[in-house]
Amino acid sequence: MELNLNGLSMTFAAALVGLLVAPALELRARFAPAFSHGPFVLEYARVSALVAEWSAGTGELDPFGVVLWPGADALAEIAVGEIDFAGCSTLELGCGTGLCSLVAASRGAIRALATDSNPEPLELVAAAAAQQGLASVRTEVFDMCSDAPLAHGIDVLLAADVCYSERIARALAARCAQASAAGVQCLVTDSVNIAREHFAHELRRLGVDFERANLTRSFLGHAVSLDMEVERSCTVALFKIAGRPRPASD
């Protein structure tokens, strides 16, 4: 299900000023297949031109983080079934439209920190959270491939469909290893299958224990390069990494 945002109040529309990098870019609200009653995410309605520019090396906006992906839909649904978000703090890496953070906040997380290396998706997340009264959602520019430390005080790390290169996949594995060593539970999904095995290999190399399952999902969403809705079946890999018990202090 989706909602066109042309009828939004002037107050909310004003909050989106500066979000659009060109007049032709249209925003819409989308309810994920697993969350037909909300929360919704905000995404760009048409991104084919952005994809063409990005592929040609002439575009400044990464078009892949401004639409909802199957892995995020799957991860949010799985997380709700396995995690009691009430009172906990979550960190989402490579959040894109931020579905997992929005869902965590709607289920009682006291802090749902959505991070991405690009600022444009974070503006979408902040606007979606404000429209739905999800005050515990926070956004922050964070590059998981950098040397910057992970946020402190988190209970759960979430990441969906971010393994688009070997470099990113290995960096995500390293972040999961850091989080697990600090007692943080990690849930990761991947539906694109570009660098999935690099992620798994790096987890093994780092000595991180994990459970893995393949899930067949049906997803109705953006076809990205075609600017149309497509219902497709996809295999989503789920990785579960338990937080290691923290050593007792003397």
CA–CA distance from 99 to each of 6, 152, 215, 232 (Å)? Answer: 21, 21, 19, 19
Phi, psi of 156 (to 5 degrees): -140, 135
Region 5-15 average pLDDT: 37
Confidence tier at 226 by pLDDT (50, 70, 90): low
Region 82-89 average pLDDT: 96
In the beta sheet, which residues pair with residue 190? 237
Alpha carbon dihedral 243, 200, 117, 149, in 10-degree steps, equals 40
**Cβ atoms within 10 Å, residue 58:** 8
Task: Give the pLDDT confidence score for residue 176 in this predicted structure.
Answer: 98
CA–CA distance from 39 to each of 82, 84, 130, 132 (Å)? Answer: 18, 17, 11, 7
Residue 31 pLDDT exceeds 70: yes
* Domain ranges across the chain: 2-241
Nearest C-alpha neighbor of 63 from the set 3, 17, 121, 6 = 121
Domain covering 2-241, topology:
Rossmann fold (3.40.50)
- Which of 247 and 152 is assigned the larger pLDDT? 152
